[in-house]
Amino acid sequence: MGTAVITGSTKGIGRGLAEAFTRRGHNAVICSRNAADVERVSAEITAEGGGRCSGIACDNTQKEQLQALWDHAAETYGAVDYWINNAGLATSRHAIHELPENLTRALISSNMLGTTFGSQVAVNGFRNQGHGALYNVLGGSFDGKRLVPNMGVYSSTKAGIHLLTKYLIDENKDTGIVIGEISPGMLITENWFEEQKEMQHDEWQKIRPMLNVLCDDVAEVTPWLADEIVANQQSGKRIAWLTGGKIAGRFFSAKVLGRKRDLFTKHGL
Q: How does DSSP classify residue 256? A: T
* Gyration radius of the chain's alpha carbons: 18
For residue 258, which amino acid is it? G
pLDDT band, very low/low/confident/very high, at 257 (cuts 50, 70, 90): confident
Averaged over 223-251, what is the pLDDT?
95
26-37 pLDDT per residue, tens? 999 999 999 999
Does residue 136 sit in helix, strand or coil? strand
What pTM, to 2 d.p., does this model score? 0.94
Q: 48-57, 226-235, 244-253 — which is least confidently predicted?
A: 244-253
pLDDT of residue 213: 87
Give yes or no for residue 82 having a pLDDT over 80. Answer: yes
pLDDT band, very low/low/confident/very high, at 269 (cuts 50, 70, 90): confident
Distance of alpha carbon 108 from alpha carbon 93, whole angstroms: 16
Q: 22-36, 50-64, 125-139, 242-256 — which is least confidently predicted?
A: 242-256
pLDDT band, very low/low/confident/very high, at 150 (cuts 50, 70, 90): confident
Among the four given CATH numbers 3.40.640.10, 3.40.50.720, 3.30.413.10, 3.30.70.20, the one describing domain 3-187+216-241: 3.40.50.720
Domain spans, the chain: 3-187+216-241
Please state the separation of Cα 77 from the chain's center in Å.
Answer: 23
Rounded to 5 degrees, φ, ψ at 14 are: -60, -45
- Is the distance from CB of 190 to CB of 11 less than 8 angstroms? yes
Burial of 221-246, coded b for 16+ CB within 10 Å and e otherwise, reads bbbebbebbbeeeebebebbbbeeee
177-191 pLDDT per residue, tens? 999 999 999 898 887
pLDDT band, very low/low/confident/very high, at 51 (cuts 50, 70, 90): very high
Averaged over 128-151, what is the pLDDT?
90
196-218 pLDDT per residue, tens? 767 777 777 888 888 888 899 99
